[in-house]
Structure 1
């Protein structure tokens, strides 16, 4: 099947009613989405990476990871978090203009659902190869806890956007539902006022009900800023797991960035703070 061409007509790109529009998944190949990202002008982008250290990771691999903890780093097989880091390192890293990636954990025994912690205490990681190294070093000594809350991480990402005054992609790798849907929904809605795309990659068995609601709902948002990707479903049976995951993770980025640029979101936020 030939790749679907991207229409420039807003009524073709989105589906919804009145003011809020959810972005359709318009691409069939990684090459097409990469070309669209370039043509949209995404050439000065920052990446932020978040990792879920809630205790549910111990049980969420019953169907998808042989009953092992999703954070198990002891076996010969890469765990799902390691796989996601490796795949994104091969595909999404080229979007990052300076190669520096702040990486945060949440849901451990110290932060619980109240805050986040940097995996690399003395600064940002230099590319995804160091993200993997730091993950491998920190994970065995990180005590899992919870509950699950994305809001502190999303708020930190908004803070980074404010400070750097440039477009960022926040990638969150998580194992299931958030505990308080309203708090997280409010954080996502607020983040839509800033040049920030949020991509959540769900690892483990799920369920994923509120992830789908965040993806397709929340009409209070300024734009559709949230993309959910179910990791195991996406790579199952794929001829090229790297390309399949990257395609799903990135396919909304071109239209999100066009919306941010066309509606001068960063400029408007600067003016409101002046």
Structure 2
């Protein structure tokens, strides 16, 4: 009896030890916002700690190697994710900063999953090049880091020596080819992307941008897929409201400029980019493409969502795919001026070979858009002509990297300008994230 009691107590002790030593895992995604300034306010945002989240980062460099005979260098950075087999895959390329050895690159946004596939300690390789017009870019140097290190933000841990291995082997006194510094501030909110597709022409004619070719994707589908794959990881849940405009709808043939692509007025959400493409192809079979082409209804549609949530907890991005023809320019300008007060941005992707003068005007980079004598509070429109990113060199990865950079180029500044203008204070940073089974080491 005594032996049995001892055995039971021992078993209870073992079970209790196992239960109390198991790590407690918070399964809810951690999204947070925080911003700060560095020198001349290098502002970027970083939302982290779940596979859905995105990292927006900015780098500057100091004393890079001089590569150009008549100038300095034209540096740019290329980021690579390491694969399970030891190889590396390009995941981002920055813009080129001309004629400087001390560049400051623009902020860029990338899904955490694209950087490290959820493994925060996985190596991330970064190479720095001097751009050459003929494509024979000169290698300056490289360094490696990890998402766990980058997530620390601006600190002594994120100052990197740019090293050229060949120069290091040949020159005994070689130290490095320059240094890089990560500039990071962090901001949070859930981002919701909404798609709007312009319908026009006859999809049965081969000249139409909506032509239903059984062997290849049409221009609109190509743009939807390319841009959609860029932004889908930035969306909070990857369920996208998708609208069409400029078509007659069954059964009565009434003209609509804001109809759900999936045909469901109560639930216009599509599951991922494949869901949007499926709804788009189904719409081509059921609606009759028809003019005029009015943008204002879809802009106002999204503005109604944004107007209901102005506390900084959500930010809306409307993505319009269009051939550039617009019938309600004055109404669209008024809609954009009104939307500039709200937590939303608009990305216009032009397809086809049109001049896109009207879309460039809506972009407002040169002249801030106005309506009835009233200037827009902030610039919220980014226009990107898709034809400029069609693969002509055989390097599809680099083409899509350029497209990703330009599609998202203005979103961080637009996002932060809204938060600052409304005095919305950032939430405090969460405690350091530790993956299940990973021991967190304290720096001494």
**1:244 corresponds to 2:402:** yes
Q: Any conservation in 2 of the 1:89–1:129 contact (CA below 8 Å)? A: no
Q: Any conservation in 2 of the 1:200–1:228 contact (CA below 8 Å)? A: yes
- Select which of 380, 393, 409 maps to 1:225: 380
Q: Which has the higher helix share?
A: 1
Displacement after TM superposition at 1:58 (Å): 8.3
SS in 2 for 1:34: strand
Residues 121-270 of structure 1 mapped to structure 2, 5 A cutoff: 121-122=263-264, 123=267, 124-165=269-310, 166-216=314-364, 217=367, 218=369, 220-237=375-392, 239=395, 240=397, 241-264=399-422
Q: Which has the higher strand share?
A: 2
Q: Which runs of 5+ in 2 are unaligned?
A: 1-37, 43-75, 79-91, 95-107, 113-183, 426-444
Corresponding residue of 1:80: 219
Q: Any conservation in 2 of the 1:223–1:256 contact (CA below 8 Å)? A: yes
Q: Report which stretch shifted further, 240-249 or 180-189.
A: 240-249
Distance (whole Å) between structure 2 residues aligned to residue 117 and residue 8 of structure 1:
47
**1:119 corresponds to 2:119:** no
Change in 2 beyond 3 A, CA 1:160/1:266: farther
Q: Report which stretch shifted further, 27-36 or 124-133.
A: 27-36
CA offsets 1:91-128 (integer angstroms, 9 cap, x no match): 2111111221100000012464x631011233211211
Displacement after TM superposition at 1:36 (Å): 11
Q: Any conservation in 2 of the 1:193–1:265 contact (CA below 8 Å)? A: no
Distance (whole Å) between structure 2 residues aligned to residue 206 and residue 28 of structure 1:
33
Q: Any conservation in 2 of the 1:109–1:145 contact (CA below 8 Å)? A: yes
Displacement after TM superposition at 1:86 (Å): 1.6
Q: Any conservation in 2 of the 1:189–1:221 contact (CA below 8 Å)? A: yes
**1:46 corresponds to 2:192:** yes
SS in 1 for 2:247: coil
CA offsets 1:171-225 (integer angstroms, 9 cap, x no match): 0000122123211111111110101110000001212111111112315111110
Distance (whole Å) between structure 1 residues aligned to residue 202 and residue 220 of structure 2:
14
Displacement after TM superposition at 1:71 (Å): 0.9
Displacement after TM superposition at 1:265 (Å): 7.5
Q: Any conservation in 2 of the 1:101–1:127 contact (CA below 8 Å)? A: yes
Q: Any conservation in 2 of the 1:195–1:266 contact (CA below 8 Å)? A: no
Structure 2 length as normaliser, TM-score? 0.49
- Select which of 22, 25, 34 maps to 2:109: 34
**1:99 corresponds to 2:217:** no
Distance (whole Å) between structure 2 residues aligned to residue 57 and residue 265 of structure 1:
48
Q: Any conservation in 2 of the 1:40–1:257 contact (CA below 8 Å)? A: no
Distance (whole Å) between structure 2 residues aligned to residue 225 and residue 258 of structure 1:
11
Q: Any conservation in 2 of the 1:42–1:257 contact (CA below 8 Å)? A: no
Change in 2 beyond 3 A, CA 1:74/1:185: same
CA offsets 1:148-185 (integer angstroms, 9 cap, x no match): 11100000001111235520110000012212321111
Displacement after TM superposition at 1:266 (Å): 7.9
SS in 2 for 1:92: helix
RMSD of the alignment, in Å?
Answer: 3.3
Displacement after TM superposition at 1:260 (Å): 1.1
Q: Rg bigger for which structure?
A: 2
Distance (whole Å) between structure 1 residues aligned to residue 222 and residue 185 of structure 2:
29
Q: Report which stretch shifted further, 138-147 or 222-231.
A: 138-147
The number of equivalent residue pairs is 241
